[in-house]
Amino acid sequence: MLKAFSTVAVLLAVTLVASAQSAQASFDAATKVFRLDGGRVSYVFGVNEKGELQQLYWGGRLGATDSFPQAQTIPEWASFDSSNTTTPQEYAGWGAGLFVEPALKVSFADGNRDLVLHYESHTVMPHGFDVVLKDIQRGIYVTLHYEMDPESGILARSATIENREAQPLTVEQAAAAAWALPAGAYTLNYLTGRWAGEWNLTQEEVHPGAKVIESRRGSTGHQANPWFALQAGKTDEDHGEVWFGALGWSGSWRITVEKDQLNAVRVTGGYNPFDFGYVLHPGERLETPIFYGGYSSNGLGGASRLLHRYELKRILPRTAATAGQALPKVRPVMYNSWGVTNFNVSEAGQIALAEKAAALGVDRFIVDDGWFGQRKNDHAGLGDWYVNKEKFPHGLKPLIDKVHSLGMDFGLWVEPEMVNPDSDLYRQHPDWVLNFPGRPRSEQRNQLVLNLARPDVRDFVRSFLDKLLTENDINYIKIDYNRNWSEPGWDQLPAAEQKRVYIDFVQNMYAILAELRKKHPNLEIETCSGGGGRVDLGILRYVDEAAISDDDDPFDAQALQDGFSYAYTPQIMTAWEGDSPDGMNVNRTTSMTYRMLTAMQGSLGIGANITKWNDEQTALAKRLIAVYHQLQPTIVEGDLYRLISPRNGSEFSANERVSEDKSQAVVFAFIHSTQNGWGFPLLKLKGLDPAAEYALSSIEGKAREGTPSVASGAWWMNHGLEMDENFRGDFQAAAFRLDKK
Ligand code: GLA
């Protein structure tokens, strides 16, 4: 029997059309069908004859008058596979014989673990819905939140779970959302890696069974990133259907891609259920993270361009200077002294670097690790956030004043969630770290993790950061996080409740970042975790950019950047010009042109020992920084087209950025090693206005002789851009710009 609908929700079919923007949310009371349209995407679900919320359609945008009949469960296949398990539910409780991944699994105080969620009521919003589900008997309510982005068609989904029973219950597994795809053959794309080797695009066929991508580490992790893309059939970079998603959570997470016994494919993601247990007392709620999902019919390239624009317009925070603006500010060109001075920072040494950096056209000078406590190396000092008097006898002020007088702003490194046992903080508060009392405390990089879930630790971290920012004129902090969790105990809580550390820790971090930004509205933040270990759409709501790797070797950077670009916009992708050979001991020597053009593909930073550069090097860097400043909006906020992939031992790589209004494009081309005399492949450009005329000019390198200086977009896209005959060799780089006439 279908449950009675609440009168408020469904007296009439409600259709709210957002003015000016092409998105709508509508509910058809006759068929109980919910429909969301945004960009080129439609997403449809409905209440089936049993009262379950069932997914009906996700894909290319449907006609405005197209309609769906009421959802019908998939008939039972056999007594072994009831319709309960084969029907794609929007948010299935574990109960009534569900064998696929549940969205929600709970344990009630009386031992009952059966949960069957049926539709209860809903609210229609301009771009989405709140749909309330309830267990068929018990007072557990789940509100599903849907918000469709009018421009990209990316749908943000999450859930709020509420206990209205008289007894506590334990949530053992809670997803943000489950996504169902049309039956078919798919290739799964996801990002894997390790420290100094992140962002490998891993591609594999989806087979029957479940594929789990996850972090059990307490934070996002280098090893896998919470992003996926499923390509149908013969999809490639530019063609075919792609369904993609990214989870906004910086703690332990899990995404399960499942092909069931009827070949249906589902993706379920949210809190990692491993070692999970969240007690909800009567009246309490649990919010899940947001799982963002999108669809493109233009291949993986189309999918990442949608995601990039969504991140720029909807996820990344604004500062006081950019409040209300469509896009965040492009990132200042940075200098970071870590690669040069390491822990040996001093006022004089940093001033010498700052003077040279300013002369190059750098906008922001950053002092990394080593400025605080007794931090001579990585064995001591974390937790003692006072300025080291031996290194900076007069505090940071003289250095900051100098940096300002040179026309730059100032940034500083912190690692707030960590402590070295050799620190005053740990000596005073040994109970503040994650630990199980009486058990060993495993150190990594000689440090332990502070239990940020504890209110006293949260207050300490918030107030030391606030004090640092109040007492010093700091525009930017790089927040580092250099290990994963071990012994995740929180012994102030009853044993049954200690696992909420996985959620409270991360929520407290988000809250601290939000408060700091509110109190210091010009503050900008970089997320770093030994490079790219904490990048996800959760933390990106509070930070302006991200470290992608501790490996700054420019050849390695080609693949790191390429992998990163599947999920994240180049705007947040810090990219470094470092010394050659670089500090990672890759032992590869490269030219400054190669290094600079590599770093210019993201948010440019200089990390080399610039005091050792000769006049020629200085002049080259200065010129390229000036060019970068000019072209930066197109490079980091334009549409990215990956023309030749650097992956899988490729000899070459190339990509193109096109400004949103198609008035400008920038092309980067790199040679790994020319083999057997083959020249650089013809570059057929993409995304230009075919009818417009574009003037080609070189940033570095030459086009083949006879290349027109002005030609139509159609010419550059169909005929293509040919490189000079002599563009050959090892680790060569070229870049061009095209400006609409
Ligand atoms: C991490 C970061 C580096 C640097 C060091 C400092 O490894 O990724 O960029 O800040 O910490 O200790």
Mean per-residue pLDDT of the chain = 95
Among candidates 143, 501, 149, which has minimal Cα distance to 288? 143
Cα 127 to chain centroid, rounded: 23
Q: Is 562 a catalytic residue?
A: no
Q: Using the 8-state DSSP alphabet, how is residue 482 labeled?
A: -
Written as one string, the DSSP assignment of 362-387 is: --EEEE-TTSBTT-SSTTB-TT--SB
* Percent of the chain at pLDDT exceeding 90: 93
Q: How far apart are CA 29 and CA 58, in angstroms?
A: 20
Put residue 94 in one of left, alpha, beta given phi > 0 → left and psi -120 to 50 → alpha.
beta
User: Is any ligand 1 atom within 6 A of the Cβ of residue 574?
Assistant: no
Strand partners, 512: none
Tokens at 142, concatenated: 């789940």
Among candidates 710, 652, 660, 722, which has minimal Cα distance to 685? 722
* Ligand 1 geometric centre to CA of 409 (Å): 20
What are the angstrom distances between the C-alpha of 378 and each of 176, 655, 667? 38, 38, 41
Q: How far apart are CA 269 and CA 272, in angstroms?
A: 8
State residue 683 phi and psi, 5-degree precision: -105, 105
Q: Give the three-state DSSP class for 446.
A: coil
Put residue 391 in one of left, alpha, beta given phi > 0 → left and psi -120 to 50 → alpha.
alpha
What pLDDT is stored for residue 18 in this prediction? 36
Res. 317: pLDDT tops 70: yes
Q: Which atom of ligand 1 is nearest to the CA of 528?
A: 8
Res. 224: pLDDT tops 60: yes
Q: Which of 363, 480, 552, 562 is catalytic?
A: 480
Res. 527: pLDDT tops 90: yes
Determine if the pTM surpasses 0.85: yes
User: Is any ligand 1 atom within 6 A of the Cβ of residue 480?
Assistant: yes
Q: Which atom of ligand 1 is nearest to the CA of 550?
A: 8
* Element spanning 359, H or E: helix 347-360
Q: Is 28 a catalytic residue?
A: no
Contact, 341 vs 350, CB < 8 A?
yes
Contact, 577 vs 617, CB < 8 A?
no
Res. 207: pLDDT tops 60: yes
Contact, 328 vs 312, CB < 8 A?
yes
Res. 4: pLDDT tops 70: no
* Percent of the chain at pLDDT exceeding 70: 96
* Ligand 1 geometric centre to CA of 565 (Å): 22
Which amino acid is residue 279, in one-letter code?
V
User: Is any ligand 1 atom within 6 A of the Cβ of residue 338?
Assistant: yes
Res. 3: pLDDT tops 70: no
User: Is any ligand 1 atom within 6 A of the Cβ of residue 154?
Assistant: no
User: Is any ligand 1 atom within 6 A of the Cβ of residue 552?
Assistant: no
What are the angstrom distances between the C-alpha of 372 and each of 160, 376, 379, 466, 629? 41, 9, 13, 16, 33
